[in-house]
Amino acid sequence: MNAMDAEDVRRTALSLPETLEKEAWSMPTFRVAGKMFVTVPDDGTSFAVRCPRHEREELIAAEPEKFWVPPHEASSSWVRVRIAALEDLDELRDIVEDSWRQAAPGRLLD
């Protein structure tokens, strides 16, 4: 299997309806209807997605090698995902799409 990278995250995010890429805080961010749902911070080895806090703790407990939260994001409803720890592009897409659904307006969620 080919290793995935930040370009796969970008392609996946941009494949979702009405998604725009916008640079913010010196990194790529992806938005739907003006709401951010993915960022690719730091060195591009991980990405951050929206995640309700109660689910985030479960994700991190279940797969700490895949999911984590930097201390400065502890109070947010976001989680970081290590790209190298993902199984495949389907898993990447599922994670990105789930975040997109949390940000997208109802009219796009049919």
- Quote the pLDDT of residue 4: 94
- Quote the pLDDT of residue 79: 97
The mean pLDDT value of the chain amounts to 95
Q: Give, as one character, the DSSP assignment of residue 40.
A: -
16 by DSSP, 3-state: which?
coil
pLDDT digits (tens, 9 = 90+) for 2-18: 689 999 999 999 999 99
- Mean pLDDT computed over 64-86: 95
Quick one: which of 5, 3, 18, 11 has its CA closest to 96? 11
- Quote the pLDDT of residue 3: 84
d(CA 40, CA 47): 4
Decide if pLDDT at 60 tops 90: yes
Tell me the pTM. 0.94
Q: Give residue 97's region: left, alpha or beta (phi > 0; psi -120 to 50).
A: alpha
